[in-house]
Amino acid sequence: MVLTNSDVLTQPYPAAPIDMQPIQTFLGCPTPDKWLNAALADLPTILQDHANCEKKAAGTAMNLVFRYMSHTDLQRKLAQLIREEMLHYEQVLDLMEARGLAWQHIPAGRYAERLLRHKRTFEPAAMIDVLIIGAFIEARSCERFAALAAVVADDELARYYRYLLKSESRHFEDYLALAQSLSDEPIDERVAFFRTVECELISTPDSELRFHSGVPDWL
């Protein structure tokens, strides 16, 4: 059965339960309470940046499709991811419209750019790093959806965040598997490196509130 946007937001909930332990272990550090409090106080910004993140995720995957056309398994996984991310983008736009929130331009936060600073410059190492970074972005998204769903007062939004958990958790696993498939050696050391970088970005002061931002420095 193909779900439309309205079907997704009105079907019975909660969605199938997701075991968050693998994601929490992979990330290495939880979302700080200060970020959660700031997000609850400014959900319009969180929704706008969430929409931006879904669109950027689809764009990144599309760029990989064109750049690495000889990798058949990668092509199939990315094609599915692109469809899902664009559906999520449209759904978040619907949620914003239903709440009277007009589209506003907000600049990207530091998160993805700081992670990508550490990408190696030669192949296939560059592609492996991009996929590992993608895994961390998807895993952190999943962790924050779960955290928000547990406390947000907007019931429809909480249901939607729970609905997203299954796909986001799969995306994180897909990115990791694809990264490993391109390497003759285990990627554990590189994953551990990016885990440290990612955790620092999440745990240190940040001057902006974004879906993947760090600890708000104004609280």
Q: Record the pTM.
A: 0.90
Query: Average pLDDT per run of 10 along the chain, which is 219 residues long?
Result: 43 60 94 98 97 94 85 84 94 96 94 98 94 96 96 95 87 90 95 98 98 94
Residues in Cβ contact with 156 at an 8 Å cutoff, skipping those fewer than 6 apart? 9, 95, 98
Domains of the chain (ranges; CATH) run: 34-214 (1.20.1260.10)
Which long-range CB contacts under 8 A does 87-93 form with residues at least 24 apart? 87/5, 88/54, 88/164, 88/167, 89/51, 89/54, 89/55, 89/58, 90/5, 91/5, 91/8, 91/9, 91/160, 92/47, 92/50, 92/51, 92/54, 93/51
For the stretch 99-110, pLDDT in tens is 999 999 999 999
pLDDT score for 18: 79
What is the per-residue pLDDT for 84? Answer: 92
